[in-house]
Amino acid sequence: MILRLLNSLSFCGRPTAVANSLRTRFSPDGQFRSSFYRWHSSSPANNRVYDVNTRVPKDVMLFKYENPRFFKILNIFAVSQFLFWGYLCHFSYTTLRDAPVNQNAEQEEVPWYKKINLGENKYRNSIAIMCFCIGYGILFASWMFTLRSVRYLVLRKGGDQVSVVTYAPFGTNRIMDVPLKCISAQESREAARVTVPIKIKNRALFYVLDMRGEFLNTKLYDYTVGMGRKLK
């Protein structure tokens, strides 16, 4: 009966846009057909984890960050600072002499820096230790940042292992194979602005993925390295 009504509307010469739209939603046997249901049932679920095959047949690179020039300059700066502060440590320890302040001078008229005897053991040793700690601290921080900066992430054949390639001092690379279950991303790729911290089991500090790098296979990364796991 509904189809007869639609045909009569078309026969009378009235606008048929609504009639054609309704006709597509009714089958000849009078049953209503939902276009949304057809689309929803025919489209595959693309964001389900079980639809992503992590058992790759060959090695797949997930991430790369090529910036060797920056780390070369950083390490040259760190080594130069260590040498400078090391020399200053040696100079202060061997050169500063004990020069007692004249007790007969009026203390009100003596500038404050003349009241300090830098050659005294407590001052001389403190200056030497401070200089060494500053130089060593700069070198240590620069090297740790270099060793924790990821250059390549490679998902190995089979999907159970991940090769983490980091920068190293003196322009070399450091490679280690880690089980996938021992890697946990602390932040999602979409939410990160500067770096993505990654925790590896039994390793101190975090490894970082610089967001200026390139994610070569985003979907595979999200369901392997990019997942948060509880590491015990």
Query: pLDDT of 163-180, one tens digit each?
Result: 999 999 988 899 999 999
Tell me whether residue 25 is in a domain: no
Tell me whether residue 51 is in a domain: no
* Count of structural domains, the chain: 2
**Looking at residue 100, what is its pLDDT?**
72
> What strands, in cross-sheet order, belong to the sheet with 183-185?
183-185, 195-200, 207-210
**Final residue belonging to a domain, choices 123, 146, 169:** 146
**82-135 pLDDT, tens per residue?**
999 999 999 988 888 777 766 665 456 767 666 777 778 888 899 999 999 999
Q: Is there a single domain that holds both residue 86 and residue 111? A: yes
Query: Which range of residues forms the domain containing residue 86?
Result: 71-146
- Helix H, strand E, coil C: the string for 109-129 is CCCHHHHCCCCCHHHHHHHHH
pLDDT at 202 over 70: yes
Q: Is the pTM of this model over 0.75?
A: no
pLDDT at 153 over 50: yes
195's tokens? 């770096």
Q: Is there a single domain that holds both residue 185 and residue 126? A: no
14: which residues sit within 8 A by CB, 6+ positions away? none
Q: Is there a single domain that holds both residue 152 and residue 166? A: yes
Distance from the first to the final alpha carbon of the chain: 68
202's tokens? 């039994």
